[in-house]
Structure 1
């Protein structure tokens, strides 16, 4: 019999079974255990969408142990049980209809604020996004506009991640501008400067620090613009109000954190603008705390100042600090005992006080407090404006915005009370105008188009006409409502002033 036929008849030689075959049940069990361990080690937040990276968060504070930071290219959730999810889904559906010849506007904010750390509450952020949606997609608006959200985390801590993702996506996404910018900090300044270095325009909405248009070295950021006021505008308005109402003894409480440029530049601007001498100043600086909240810490600190305030007997305290911190001051004034000779005091501050509105405040306790602040915007502000015959359309522009906000998009009109939706609408409206007027889709071409939005060619907005100063990028002639907050948290208009003392005037502002 041949060797081949012998092999065919007898089959292949018998080999001893390997360990894996002999112990296959045990092997399967080991694989299952290892796979389970791997699944446990792979946390759900590692699936943040394109353009996003996961960072740890305080689950006790925000209900999620992670937050996604970066540019949300897929418009998906950025944390567990993301409260922005309905708006993200709306943005995603509209982006999918933008077609091939689209242009993109980015809304940059701290989109998952931690109440233990951040001064800006989530409802304020939600209203900003609603305002952006209203400006991006009005009923008869231009086609091809996309909106993307970007998150830089608490205190803009992850600004470098956001900058990298926006720069990487700028060409493919045809980014027109990055709007909003959140709060005024050294980190947000660095972010704006980095984007400008790559030719990307930014349009600030709620950033009011005067130095936001300069980089950390003090060099002008060429591609930064803003639709809101500066702190100098706000301080000048407050100083005028204080002088007009006969206040004589002014004390200042000032936040001095080097990171928080909102507080430091607001204090500097008020010192230089006040027509009434500041008789006494107290300063505070809050570092991130591990064992207590910012508000609780400041409540205790301000209580220690009770005797100092009583001794100074101010009739007005100018508060150059965050709204969350102001709440701690009001609580201290209310609950630490009466002062001889100081039954009532007026506390005046900047726009960040809007974060206190809507919440009950102890304003009529041991020391009665009258609370005033200069606001970015207010829904009834044009009812305080005696229409200039040369500018009959301020109220009409606002009414058009409300029709889009409530009618086209179905957002509640009650969401307008703090001005967040109005001011972010105007930032995005300026970006939409640049997108429409620009024949190029290259992001580096946009700043020149934005510079053409000047006193000769302003854009109608909810907060007034938008026109940029050619030298600074700041808004020209911004309207500033002065508002009061009552003990029940309700807000009421007190006055309407202008950053340059008058509405936009093409003859005066354009040198005609």
Structure 2
């Protein structure tokens, strides 16, 4: 039979179906998953280590087209050219020496802040990590402590990913507590509630909103504690300062974003605390803009308020908003023209103003601006505290912290100026104490141990003795420095006050 006839009879050779045809259902599923991930901003092909997921980022803002969110199990980079890389390598090397009988503390923050959206700058985050390292591994500290960093991304938008990864790793990593928690916001509040639902305790360092210890429905979060003050503490301190210094005409500028619980609860707390009526209030809201920065937008908005402020003639403006936003107000006040009868004005605000320190501010212009804020901590705060017999103990605890920070770990003392390292140190120090005292390795057992850190058994810290209120989880008797910022960005102490009017007192606070 000819070759042509054979082909006619038998037909063309049969070829096996391709992989895609043979596994059509699987291929469709994979494509669907990739499309869904892209729509959610997740980029699985990017280089993120275990416990992390890649999401899109604004390269112009963070220097990377992607960032990694979740729990950094391998202490690797969380973005291109990660500036935290040296500290992450240090953490990795220490974790590798923890042995088999270890317990883990997680520091949760926005490790990749976007200046277009976020008010907290990266150097503040870096100093928090330094403080966490200092508390986790003091020279003669307990063995078997691990530290892991977790990232919930810009504006805490990826808090669900961070929560899922922490919960998934809690048992295997023997997580004692999650510390830091970042800014007060609806996202960070939801994250804390989700971790608590799974029995995981959090110890807030910087979130000060009064409602951070309640979930979005207003129910108390049983497993939330904090070493920093509440906004009521800060507002009460500010109100006392205002009354003591004879201010008569108080105006308030208030951020009203529903997401930013720091600003809204700070305003409410000040109104409830101040004995001097607020004569005038202006409000603002900030959305993520595509064509202008947050600071640029607010600089223009506040300039339009100049005539209103001149007409009100306040001798003090209480600013219930982010520090970055105060930085936009100052040039609008000082540089947009003189006001008849208003040569000088004091601007008082909360702890977020620490993000302005270290940078020049145009405080002296057509109107002279004096900037004051209630701080979480300040390195020289105990030099202002000499009247109480307990003073040597507070100063000694701080000196011990400095010795570990600068001596054991070699961090520069100059890094302490904004209090970030001090306050995060105290959060991790409380977690380390819980790790030592807890007889169980199960994460759900830790909250009871933390509740035992009360007025009878406080933990010595850089910012004072850490003791938690049994009913609220808030810090008892927090020391609050009141600081000023000069035009060159330097910070100076003005006063030291206490959230309950006095230092921790065992008899008064424990009912003895």
Question: Is the pair's TM-score, using the shorter chain for normalization, greater than 0.5?
Answer: yes
Query: Which whole-Å deviations, capped at 9, do the CAs of 1:400-444 have from their partners, x for residues lacking one?
Result: 000000000000000000000000000000000000000100000
**Shift of residue 19 of structure 1?**
18
Q: Relative to structure 2, which stretch is displaced further, 224-233 or 39-48?
A: 39-48
Structure 1 residues 437 and 343, CA gap change in structure 2 (3 angstroms): same
Query: Which whole-Å deviations, capped at 9, do the CAs of 1:287-335 have from their partners, x for residues lacking one?
Result: 1111100000000000000010000000000000000000000011122
**Shift of residue 392 of structure 1?**
2.8
Query: Which whole-Å deviations, capped at 9, do the CAs of 1:92-134 have from their partners, x for residues lacking one?
Result: 0000000000000000000010111110000000000000000
SS at match of 1:283: strand
Q: Relative to structure 2, which stretch is displaced further, 60-69 or 223-232?
A: 60-69
**Shift of residue 236 of structure 1?**
0.1
The alignment's TM-score, normalised by the length of structure 2, stands at 0.92
Inter-partner Cα distance in structure 2 for 1:492 and 1:503 = 22
**Shift of residue 17 of structure 1?**
20
Contact residue 456 and residue 510 of structure 1 kept, 8 A: yes
Aligned match of 1:254: 254
Structure 1 residues 248 and 77, CA gap change in structure 2 (3 angstroms): same
Q: Relative to structure 2, which stretch is displaced further, 484-493 or 4-13?
A: 4-13
Contact residue 183 and residue 207 of structure 1 kept, 8 A: yes
Structure 1 residues 61 and 52, CA gap change in structure 2 (3 angstroms): same
Structure 1 residues 444 and 365, CA gap change in structure 2 (3 angstroms): same
Contact residue 234 and residue 499 of structure 1 kept, 8 A: yes
**Shift of residue 389 of structure 1?**
1.8
Inter-partner Cα distance in structure 2 for 1:26 and 1:497 = 64
**Shift of residue 42 of structure 1?**
13
Query: Which whole-Å deviations, capped at 9, do the CAs of 1:314-368 have from their partners, x for residues lacking one?
Result: 0000000000000000011122111111010000000000000000000001111
Structure 1 residues 313 and 11, CA gap change in structure 2 (3 angstroms): closer
Which has the greater radius of gyration? 1
Structure 1 residues 270 and 16, CA gap change in structure 2 (3 angstroms): closer
Contact residue 45 and residue 79 of structure 1 kept, 8 A: no
Structure 1 residues 406 and 337, CA gap change in structure 2 (3 angstroms): same
Structure 1 residues 24 and 413, CA gap change in structure 2 (3 angstroms): closer
Q: Relative to structure 2, which stretch is displaced further, 309-318 or 19-28?
A: 19-28
Question: Structure 1: which 5+ residue stretches go unaligned?
Answer: none
Inter-partner Cα distance in structure 1 for 2:101 and 2:371 = 49
Aligned match of 2:264: 264
Structure 1 residues 164 and 30, CA gap change in structure 2 (3 angstroms): closer
Structure 1 residues 184 and 12, CA gap change in structure 2 (3 angstroms): closer
Inter-partner Cα distance in structure 2 for 1:29 and 1:190 = 31
Contact residue 45 and residue 67 of structure 1 kept, 8 A: no
Aligned match of 2:466: 466
Contact residue 45 and residue 66 of structure 1 kept, 8 A: no
SS at match of 1:386: coil
Inter-partner Cα distance in structure 1 for 2:274 and 2:81 = 47
SS at match of 1:44: coil
Structure 1 residues 41 and 339, CA gap change in structure 2 (3 angstroms): closer
Structure 1 residues 436 and 19, CA gap change in structure 2 (3 angstroms): closer
Structure 1 residues 403 and 322, CA gap change in structure 2 (3 angstroms): same
Contact residue 43 and residue 53 of structure 2 kept, 8 A: no
Query: Which whole-Å deviations, capped at 9, do the CAs of 1:138-167 have from their partners, x for residues lacking one?
Result: 000000000000000111100000110000
Hey, which bits of structure 1, 4+ residues long, moved more than 4 A?
A: 1-45
SS at match of 2:483: strand
SS at match of 2:373: strand
Q: Relative to structure 2, which stretch is displaced further, 15-24 or 147-156?
A: 15-24
Inter-partner Cα distance in structure 1 for 2:295 and 2:170 = 39
Structure 1 residues 61 and 8, CA gap change in structure 2 (3 angstroms): closer
Question: Structure 2: which 5+ residue stretches go unaligned?
Answer: none
SS at match of 2:317: strand
Contact residue 423 and residue 462 of structure 1 kept, 8 A: yes
Contact residue 152 and residue 158 of structure 2 kept, 8 A: yes
SS at match of 1:257: coil
SS at match of 2:262: helix
SS at match of 2:108: strand
Inter-partner Cα distance in structure 2 for 1:22 and 1:468 = 62
Contact residue 360 and residue 488 of structure 2 kept, 8 A: yes
Contact residue 213 and residue 472 of structure 2 kept, 8 A: yes
Inter-partner Cα distance in structure 2 for 1:307 and 1:116 = 28
SS at match of 1:98: coil
